[in-house]
Structure 1
Amino acid sequence: MRNRFHYQPRYFLFWLLLFALGRAVFLLYHYAQHTATLDAGTVARTFLYGLRLDGSAAAYLSLPAFLLLALGGLLPRWRGARALGAYTALAGVVVGLLTTVDLELYKAWGFRLDSTPLQYLDTPGEMAASAGSAPWLPLTLIFGALLAAGYGLYRRLLAPLPPAPAWFPRWRAVLVGLLYIALLVVPLRGGVQQIPVNQSDVYFSTQFPFANHAAINVPWNVVQSLQLGEVKPSTTVYLPDSTARRVVAELYRPAPDSAPVRLLRARRPNVLFIILESFTAKLVGHLGGEAGVTPTLDSLARTGVSFRNLYASGDRSQKGIVALLSGYPNQPTTSIIKYPRKTEGLPSLARTLGRQGYRSAFYYGGELAFANMKSYLLAGGYQRLVERQDFHQRDQNSKWGAHDHVLLARLLRDLRQPQPAPFFVTAFTLSSHEPFEVPMRPRFPGTDLDNQFRSSVAYTDHALGQFLRTARQEAWWSNTLVVIVADHGHPLPGWSAIQSPEKFRIPLLLTGGALRPDLAGRQVTTFGSQTDVAATLLPQLGLPARDYAWSRNLLAPDPAAAPGGFAFYCFTDGFGLMTPDGELTMDNVAHQLMYRAPAVKDRQLLQGQAYQQESFADFMRR
């Protein structure tokens, strides 16, 4: 005899099984084009990794049902079977419809169903025309089969609803119902980890994007994309489209003498790309910041190549990662990394170098599921990811994960193993992120945030120095270019204003054994952005950078339209443009200048408006 209090787990299981059925249908529907290329283990992993989003979606769908069952504990004569059945039937129809529609849309669009079709509701004629070629009969049959399978599964697992035992007090029944509701919190957020579940948690394949797509839960994906909200470009429109395109094209048109400086002794060296969390120029001595906080970086500026006027493209880690590794500008009201289907179309240094035989890896002491970074990195071609779960529990000694000396020690140990040459390895530090914990005596005592931040930056600089001193003794060092750059700046110390250029200025240094010794201490003074790192690096490796349309070579002559270079950056609802003439900041909502340096010319205002408009239009088109 069925127990009333086993009903909630069976109800949750019902949705898990239904989602597994939907995934099987998806794999079968795309068998010839995609699934046939997957081995059996990869197919199985689409179900295994997909469980986290399936569980989250099942928890959301179970929540109303569990509330109904808890209510039934208060009203013993109301069994609630009819209300529960009606709710489940309605939800099942919606899930079945989304699953079926997704089958054909994926074939046409190459990404799982999200809120995109809602954009066409105001043009029903175009929507009908687009849907005219769909195979309606097979899709209708699939939809009917899904409904029939769901009904059979419901009858098997859940009908009839058992009555509550007569001997069981009502208040206990209510408590049991509330306990089941509380337990849903774990699958709702995809586990007990620090960061709630997102698409990155189900991405697992570096070889087959389709396998990652198959692991996504469609109802969860639709609701999540609705939560992101519709991004409207109206606030970024300043100029006629043709004018904006022309002005931006001029900014990226190379000067007649466009032969860049050659920095390297080797044509195809290893590349070690180190991204420093929150390293603001305000604390970097060789950039005019406070002395004594970053002695390692200041020493590298004397022995390597330093870029004096580099600015972050945005103000968050996920924005900096995309700007650095894809050469793609930020958006003022959102971030492209939130949209895996958009980031899959971006160029990527890992993919570009992978085509030339480079082996790639990404090291991070925290959770790469944060802000969809994992899905972005896998789609970008990284062949190996090392993150928090790959470190021993005793080494996860920071709120965010493994501190930077642990991360760099792991990186050094792995690089000592025989490496297929050449390699492209990226390491992303985290200890200088809030709450500014450091596993050593703070260099700047005190509990105020400014000194805590200074101490965290000083710690990471120290850990980097130790790593580089040891790395110089390794066999791979002589043929390695090391790129050191920050993911973004920081309002601390001093709480810079949200639009202030000093908040966005960051270090960029080149060092390593592959660098020509005669270039020690060279300073590059042209103004540039994180987005320019890709097009600066690739020509040094003898590779074209044509795929990186929003990136320019900082070692080549400046474009005629921007003598001395330029750096565009975004903040919430606004943008800034830095040139040798000074800063210009703009409020996108009011379409009003926030600040314009006295020497700034009208041309710079036009360029900033054009860049904001055209870069955001490019984001919307993807």
Structure 2
Amino acid sequence: MKRKNPIAVNLYFALAYRFLIAMELYTLCRLAFYAFNQDLFQNITFSKYLYMLWGGLKFDASALIYINAIFILLHVIPAPFKYNDGYQRFCKWLFIITNSIGIMANFADFAYYRYTLKRTTATVFSQFSHEQNKFKLFIDFLSDYWYLFILYAVTIWFFIRLYNMITVKRESRFKWTNYALQTVLMLGIALACITGVRGGWGFGTRPITLSNAGEYVDTPDQMSLVLNTPFCIFRTLKASKLKPVNYYDEKTLNSIYNPIHQPADTAAFKKLNVVFLIIESLGKEHVGSLNKDLMNGNYKGYTPFLDSLIGQSFTFTNTYANGRKSIDALPSVITGIPSNREPYILSIYSSNETTSIAKLLGDKGYETAFFHGAPNGSMGFSSYTHLAGIKHYFGQNEYGKTGDTDGTWGIWDDPFMQYMADEMNTLKQPFFSAFFSLSSHHPFRLPEEYVGKFPKGPLPVQEIFGYTDMALRNFFNKASKMPWYNNTLFVLCADHATLSYFPEYQTTPGYYSIPIVFYYPGGDLKGKTDKIVQQIDIMPTVLNYLNYDKPYFALGFDAFSKNPDNFAINNNDNFFSFYQGDYLLIGDGKINNALYNLKKDRLTKNNIVDQEPAVTEKMNKYLRAFIQQYNNRMIENKLTAK
């Protein structure tokens, strides 16, 4: 198999060449995966598939850096012994064996995908861990797909031939200059590897995960054409796998809690524009009009404009985020799906078929857009919003004016919101748009011209809330002069709460308390009630308010409904915080750890779980129903109204 006269080249050229061999083989595997399963992917144009192949390179590079980390390290160590023949032979077989395993994983999904309709993840190890007949299963697979093994053997033969086409040229003398240069190269290659594993570089860029494939596809099932199997396995090694739950039979379960929403009446659909304003870290604590009981009624808060807007809006006394991270918020608000133990869009279930308010309104003829002033790709928002059916994405790339950046996260809120108002004015009505702010984020800096302009509080973020509140004021001032303004329903909420100062917010419910405000300048939607409302309630509340006329899936409730059994929920450290009526129950469906009467015990100091068995039993019934609906529907990919 070895060439008689391989070409001797520089070690670093050889390293790059062999990495490119692996990249090319992964692209061939992606082509073969599509060829074997083409009938399962409909309506994919040639240009769209080329875009998927392009996107796949990012995931291939990440997977191959994971697989070849040791091989790369052995080549970049600044030492003369790495040129020895025995050392290079060891590196050769390390490279061939480890990458052959990765290629084998891709080959397995050529056939296995038809049974799961997903790329294989790390759960496959637990899935087959208790099988007693693993050898027989392997033999059966071999007999059914013998041609894949032949194709695999030919691929590995070809792989070895390509590897052997070049050899590493020996260094005749290894001087101190070699050590210096190779140390610099080692650091540069390490930086390139970190960038490749993360899928990009930037302060707000998270390491890519399965959901980032959504940026290159039209529907979640197509994500498998962008991903590769080793990447899916690596990125889910520590992922939480939900377990099926069977507390109730199907009929009883749906009578307690059913996430399929039916049209409420036959009233005509109202074609209002819908605008979501999601404010970074704006805990309810910092809004004066929502805390009139603090400091003996003298608390002013840090958001004077929002206070005035709330006076013209409808809001609620008990409003909660469903998570504590920005990445938890978008699926909760736009898709009606909260995170559970880990962010939904980072979970192994992120490729499930879902719906969203953007998709549903898009089907009604709405134009849809998302605005976020960070570099495109930050936080995985562009990938998620694409999967959620939002057609237009406006980020820092589209904004273009680099002089308005804060140097860390992206464009300051005020200029970006002015830009957003102008862009929204170009959208065809009716439209849906969502905005996610960023200035009220650590390191809590202000534009120089605003330093000292806003009240400072005991927490550094509170001064920044003054700036973002001003940005909101300027946005509404500009929007109010536009023709679409009076025909628009605005929904303002936070992505999550942040640092707390008052003891009333240094509690479990306080850590999740955020404002949720509905403002309709052209209508009479005004008032305030004590009802419990959460982020996942926003989607069904808006759709029902518009008289949406088709069934849809959302795990939340209509906040304007008179249903007394609604609840709010969030999850932390594997226990649920479950809010219903005046009470907070903390438990996991099996064990009830604590029960608090929030109306009488705002500081949650008095655990009454043993004193109120009837309340605990009722709340646990609904908690179990939620867990069963959530887990089973995630596992069975039933997150739509089909």
**TM-score, normalised relative to structure 2:** 0.83
| Higher mean C-alpha displacement, 504-513 vs 175-184 | 175-184
Partner of 2:322: 313
Pick closer, same or farther for the CA change 1:169–1:11 going to 2, 3 Å: farther
Q: Residues 351 and 381 of structure 1 are in contact (CA less than 8 Å); yes or no, is this contact kept in structure 2?
A: yes
Please give the secondary structure, in 2, of the residue aligned with 1:536: helix
For 2:354, give the aligned amino acid. Answer: L
Partner of 2:4: none
Please give the secondary structure, in 1, of the residue aligned with 2:215: coil
Whether 2:236 is the aligned partner of 1:225: answer yes
Q: Residues 52 and 202 of structure 1 are in contact (CA less than 8 Å); yes or no, is this contact kept in structure 2?
A: no
| Higher mean C-alpha displacement, 103-112 vs 14-23 | 103-112
Shift of 1:282: 0.9
Match for residue 553 of structure 2 among 532, 539, 548: 548
Please give the secondary structure, in 1, of the residue aligned with 2:439: coil
Q: What is the Cα-based RMSD across aligned positions, in Å?
A: 3.5
For 1:198, give the aligned amino acid. Answer: I
Cα separation, 1, equivalents of 2:399 and 2:503: 34
Match for residue 142 of structure 1 among 135, 151, 169: 151
Cα separation, 1, equivalents of 2:618 and 2:184: 58
Q: Deviations over 1:30-81 (max 9, x none)?
A: 33442x7322322222222222222222333333223333566236545423
Match for residue 531 of structure 2 among 522, 526, 529: 526
Q: Residues 97 and 143 of structure 1 are in contact (CA less than 8 Å); yes or no, is this contact kept in structure 2?
A: yes
Alignment of 1:588-603 (within 5 A): 592-593=593-594, 595=596, 601-603=612-614
Q: Deviations over 1:70-112 (max 9, x none)?
A: 5662365454232112112211221121111122233332222
Pick closer, same or farther for the CA change 1:55–1:75 going to 2, 3 Å: closer
Q: Residues 429 and 484 of structure 2 are in contact (CA less than 8 Å); yes or no, is this contact kept in structure 1?
A: no
For 1:523, give the aligned amino acid. Answer: K
Alignment of 1:408-419 (within 5 A): 408-417=417-426, 419=427
| Higher mean C-alpha displacement, 94-103 vs 496-505 | 496-505
Q: Residues 306 and 510 of structure 1 are in contact (CA less than 8 Å); yes or no, is this contact kept in structure 2?
A: yes
Cα separation, 1, equivalents of 2:95 and 2:590: 44
| Higher mean C-alpha displacement, 435-444 vs 125-134 | 125-134
Partner of 2:100: 93
Number of residues paired by the alignment? 597
**TM-score, normalised relative to structure 1:** 0.85
Pick closer, same or farther for the CA change 1:607–1:275 going to 2, 3 Å: farther
Shift of 1:596: 5.4
Whether 2:467 is the aligned partner of 1:459: answer yes
Pick closer, same or farther for the CA change 1:546–1:202 going to 2, 3 Å: closer
Q: Identical aligned pairs, as a percentage? A: 21
For 1:336, give the aligned amino acid. Answer: Y
Which segments of 5 or more consecutive residues in structure 1 lack a partner in the other structure?
Answer: none
Pick closer, same or farther for the CA change 1:308–1:243 going to 2, 3 Å: farther
Q: Residues 27 and 53 of structure 2 are in contact (CA less than 8 Å); yes or no, is this contact kept in structure 1?
A: yes
For 2:445, give the aligned amino acid. Answer: E
Whether 2:221 is the aligned partner of 1:203: answer no
Cα separation, 2, equivalents of 1:411 and 1:130: 56
Pick closer, same or farther for the CA change 1:259–1:169 going to 2, 3 Å: closer
Whether 2:389 is the aligned partner of 1:381: answer yes
Whether 2:425 is the aligned partner of 1:433: answer no
Please give the secondary structure, in 2, of the residue aligned with 1:524: strand
Whether 2:408 is the aligned partner of 1:405: answer no
Partner of 1:49: 55
Q: Residues 595 and 616 of structure 2 are in contact (CA less than 8 Å); yes or no, is this contact kept in structure 1?
A: no
Alignment of 1:84-123 (within 5 A): 84-123=91-130
Cα separation, 2, equivalents of 1:62 and 1:191: 19
Partner of 2:274: 271
Cα separation, 2, equivalents of 1:498 and 1:106: 47
Please give the secondary structure, in 1, of the residue aligned with 2:492: strand
For 1:541, give the aligned amino acid. Answer: L
Shift of 1:253: 10
Whether 2:21 is the aligned partner of 1:14: answer yes
Cα separation, 2, equivalents of 1:242 and 1:459: 50
Q: Deviations over 1:465-490 (max 9, x none)?
A: 11011111101112211111222222
Whether 2:45 is the aligned partner of 1:39: answer yes
Whether 2:606 is the aligned partner of 1:606: answer no
Shift of 1:398: 4.7
Cα separation, 2, equivalents of 1:217 and 1:341: 16
Shift of 1:554: 1.6
Q: Residues 485 and 507 of structure 1 are in contact (CA less than 8 Å); yes or no, is this contact kept in structure 2?
A: yes
Cα separation, 2, equivalents of 1:497 and 1:131: 60
Alignment of 1:272-421 (within 5 A): 272-288=275-291, 290-331=299-340, 333-339=341-347, 341-342=349-350, 344-367=352-375, 369-392=377-400, 393-417=402-426, 419-421=427-429
For 1:117, give the aligned amino acid. Answer: V
Pick closer, same or farther for the CA change 1:120–1:567 going to 2, 3 Å: closer
Cα separation, 2, equivalents of 1:498 and 1:116: 37
Q: Deviations over 1:479-532 (max 9, x none)?
A: 21111122222232347777521222221222234x424x4x322331122221
Q: Residues 281 and 440 of structure 2 are in contact (CA less than 8 Å); yes or no, is this contact kept in structure 1?
A: yes
Pick closer, same or farther for the CA change 1:268–1:70 going to 2, 3 Å: closer
Shift of 1:442: 4.3
Q: Residues 356 and 388 of structure 2 are in contact (CA less than 8 Å); yes or no, is this contact kept in structure 1?
A: yes
Cα separation, 1, equivalents of 2:254 and 2:138: 33
For 1:508, give the aligned amino acid. Answer: I
| Higher mean C-alpha displacement, 577-586 vs 17-26 | 577-586
Please give the secondary structure, in 1, of the residue aligned with 2:355: coil
Q: Residues 535 and 545 of structure 1 are in contact (CA less than 8 Å); yes or no, is this contact kept in structure 2?
A: no
Partner of 2:5: none
Partner of 1:576: 577
Alignment of 1:184-199 (within 5 A): 184-194=193-203, 195-199=205-209
Cα separation, 2, equivalents of 1:111 and 1:554: 35
Please give the secondary structure, in 1, of the residue aligned with 2:168: coil
Cα separation, 2, equivalents of 1:131 and 1:464: 64
Partner of 1:3: 10
For 2:364, give the aligned amino acid. Answer: Q
Please give the secondary structure, in 1, of the residue aligned with 2:270: coil
Pick closer, same or farther for the CA change 1:14–1:610 going to 2, 3 Å: farther
Match for residue 563 of structure 2 among 554, 558, 561: 558
Q: Residues 336 and 556 of structure 2 are in contact (CA less than 8 Å); yes or no, is this contact kept in structure 1?
A: yes
For 2:55, give the aligned amino acid. Answer: Y
Shift of 1:130: 11
Pick closer, same or farther for the CA change 1:204–1:252 going to 2, 3 Å: closer
Q: Residues 296 and 462 of structure 1 are in contact (CA less than 8 Å); yes or no, is this contact kept in structure 2?
A: yes
Partner of 2:3: none
Cα separation, 1, equivalents of 2:461 and 2:200: 31
Match for residue 544 of structure 2 among 533, 539, 542: 539
Which segments of 5 or more consecutive residues in structure 2 lack a partner in the other structure?
Answer: 1-7, 293-298, 602-607, 635-642
Q: Residues 445 and 464 of structure 2 are in contact (CA less than 8 Å); yes or no, is this contact kept in structure 1?
A: yes
Please give the secondary structure, in 2, of the residue aligned with 1:361: strand
Shift of 1:340: 5.9
Cα separation, 2, equivalents of 1:145 and 1:582: 65
Please give the secondary structure, in 2, of the residue aligned with 1:203: helix
